[in-house]
Structure 1
Amino acid sequence: MSNVALKWTGQGSQMFIGRDSFGHVVMSGSWPNNDNDSWQEWKAIKPSDLLLLSLASCSAYDVVMILGRQRQDLTNLYISVDGQQASEPPYQFTNIHLHYTVEGVDLDPQKVERAIVLSEEKYCSVAATIRGVAELSHSHEIVAANSP
Structure 2
Amino acid sequence: MKITLERVNENFHFQMQNERGHIVDVDARPAFGGNDMGPSPMELVLMGVAGCSGIDMISILKKQRQEITSFKAEVEGERVPVGEANPFKTIHIVFFLEGPINEDKAARAAKLSFEKYCSVSKTLEPTATILYKVVLNGVELAN
TM-score normalised by structure 1 residue count? 0.84
Per-residue deviation, 1:10: 3.9
Letter in 2 for 1:3: K
Per-residue deviation, 1:136: 0.6
Per-residue deviation, 1:5: 1.1
- The aligned residue for residue 5 of structure 2 is 6
* Counterpart pick for 1:78 among 63, 72, 79: 72
- Give me the whole-angstrom Cα distance separating, in 1, the residues matched to 2:76 and 2:44: 13
SS in 2 for 1:73: coil
- The aligned residue for residue 41 of structure 2 is 47
* Counterpart pick for 2:103 among 101, 109, 112: 109
Q: Structure 1 residues 128 and 31 mapped into 2: Cα distance closer, same or farther (>3 Å)?
A: closer
- The aligned residue for residue 99 of structure 1 is 94
* Counterpart pick for 2:127 among 119, 129, 133: 133
- Give me the whole-angstrom Cα distance separating, in 2, the residues matched to 1:101 and 1:16: 32
Give a deviation string over 1:30-87, Cα, whole Å, max 9, x none. Answer: 4758xxxxxx976211110000001100010010100000111111110100100013
Contact 1:14 1:31 survives alignment (8 Å): no
SS in 2 for 1:44: coil
- Give me the whole-angstrom Cα distance separating, in 2, the residues matched to 1:94 and 1:42: 24
Gap runs ≥5 in structure 2: 139-143
- The aligned residue for residue 63 of structure 1 is 57
Letter in 1 for 2:3: V
Contact 2:30 2:36 survives alignment (8 Å): no
State the identity as a percent: 29
Q: Matched residue pairs, number?
A: 135
Letter in 1 for 2:8: T
Letter in 2 for 1:7: E
SS in 2 for 1:43: coil
Gap runs ≥5 in structure 1: 34-39
Give a deviation string over 1:12-36, Cα, whole Å, max 9, x none. Answer: x111101123210010014758xxx
SS in 1 for 2:13: strand
Runs of at least 4 residues off by over 3 Å: 30-33
Q: Give the greater-gyration-radius structure (CA).
A: 1
TM-score normalised by structure 2 residue count? 0.87
SS in 2 for 1:139: strand
- The aligned residue for residue 141 of structure 2 is none
